[in-house]
Homo-oligomer: A and B are copies of this chain.
Amino acid sequence: MAVSTNCYGDPMVDELAPRFAQRATWKLSTVAQRSHQLLAAAFAERGRRGYDFRVLAALDHFGELHQAAIGRHTGLDPSDVTQTVRDLEAAGELTRLPSSEDRRRMVIAITPAGKRTLSRLESAIDTAEAALLAPLSDAQRERLLEGLEVLAQAHDRR
């Protein structure tokens, strides 16, 4: 028996316990999890992950950066920057050269291939984001975004 029955004897699809399913934090994490699924799948198709996108986007926007700056502009831990930059360099998406001014630093720059990858990832994200938000009316979407904006600002990463 794959379904349980409620007190009326009706067949009942297994339900999540309201004890947590009604919580704002649960709904939030459900939606975020779905978002992550869609994005991770889109990235994985291209052999990349969220970290790669963030690093490429930061380089494209700010130009050359050393790794610590990449970390600050992406919210990544320095150790994760190291790994991500290593992967992206191996894939030819960026260059990594020792700084002439500061011998501790590595100067990272996006390559043309990296820019192409970035725009491909960006389109994939557009698609995923559209799929995620599709169930909302325009008004609902705007109101949701307003709340997220306020909270994201208040609980800033950085």
Contact = CB atoms under 8 A, between A and B. Distances in A.
Interface in A98-149: 122, 125, 128-129, 132-136, 140-141, 143-149
A100 B157 CA distance: 52
A150 B140 CA distance: 9
Give the oligomeric copy count: 2
Contacts of A26: 152
A155 B19 contact: no
A69 interface: yes
A74 B24 CA distance: 16
A19 B152 contact: no
A25 B129 contact: yes
Contacts of A149: 27
Contacts of A29: 32, 35-36
A130 to B, nearest CB: 10
Interface residues of A, number: 63
A155 B35 CA distance: 9
A122 B154 CA distance: 24
Contacts of A141: 147
A125 to B, nearest CB: 7
A132 B14 contact: no
Contacts of A4: 69
Contacts of A69: 4, 14
Contact of A133 (B151, B153, B158): B151
Contacts of A146: 140, 143-144
A39 interface: yes
